[in-house]
Structures are given as C-alpha cells and as structure tokens.
Amino acid sequence: MVTPSLGVHVQNGIWFNEQMEFAEDHDFILRTAEKFGIWYLDMPLCSLHRLPLTPGGISDNRWKMRKGEMRMYVDYCKRNRLYPAIPFFLVFSLVKHVKNMLFIKN
C-alpha cells in the first residue's frame, strides 16, 4: 500500500508503534487490517510528487527500511502464532532488498 493514500479513523484504538523508526506505517496498517479488515477503492486518493524509496525522505535508507519491514513481519507472526512462517517472510524481504539494490536507478 502507498501510505499517503490511506484513511484511518482516529478512534480505532490502534496507535503507531513508537519503538519502530522504519516501516512503522506499514506495521500500523497491518495491525489495523488484522483488527478491521481492508477495503479497496478503485480510485486515486492521492498524488505522489516523489516516488517511494527515492532520495530525500526517511525511506532513502533502504537497509533500515528493510530491517523495519522484517521486524514488522516477525511481530505479525508472533502475534498470530505463525512462527514457522518467520523464515519465509525474512527471506522474502531479503530477496526484495537484493533485487532492489541490483536494479536501483539513483
């Protein structure tokens, strides 16, 4: 999901994990989806003036973003007692990282 395109009700009882510096928005989305589900609207909700993971933002540090993503996956698996899936998610995240680093055009 592109995080600027999300709308979340303030009183949903879910807060950002302040212990996470990277991927905290995706962690928030995942926990919200676990509790309430996700609705898909086939319409543009925002316009991005800078592509995700490009220089100039906190997401520019790709390795820290990837580590945050891996933490999010591990936390998700622990919450849902999906311990055997942890290695799959970690490998998935690392493969994405290597692929992005090999084909990056910055």
Tens-place pLDDT, residues 47-95: 766 665 566 665 567 888 889 889 999 999 999 999 999 999 999 999 9
Task: Report the candidate in 5, 35, 36, 20 with the shortest Cα–Cα distance to residue 68.
Answer: 20
- What is the distance between the alpha carbons of residues 3 and 36, in angstroms, rounded to a whole number? 17
Structure tokens at 103: 């084909």
What is the sign, positive or negative, of the torsion defined by CA atoms of 38, 44, 50, 56?
A: negative
Token look-up 């055997």 returns 84
Structure tokens at 19: 């212990």
Structure tokens at 105: 């055009």
Tens-place pLDDT, residues 9-58: 667 788 888 898 888 888 888 888 888 887 777 877 767 666 655 666 65
- Domain hosting 60: range is 3-102
More confident residue, 102 or 58: 102
Predicted confidence at residue 101, as pLDDT, reads: 80
Predicted confidence at residue 26, as pLDDT, reads: 85
Give the count of domains, the chain: 1
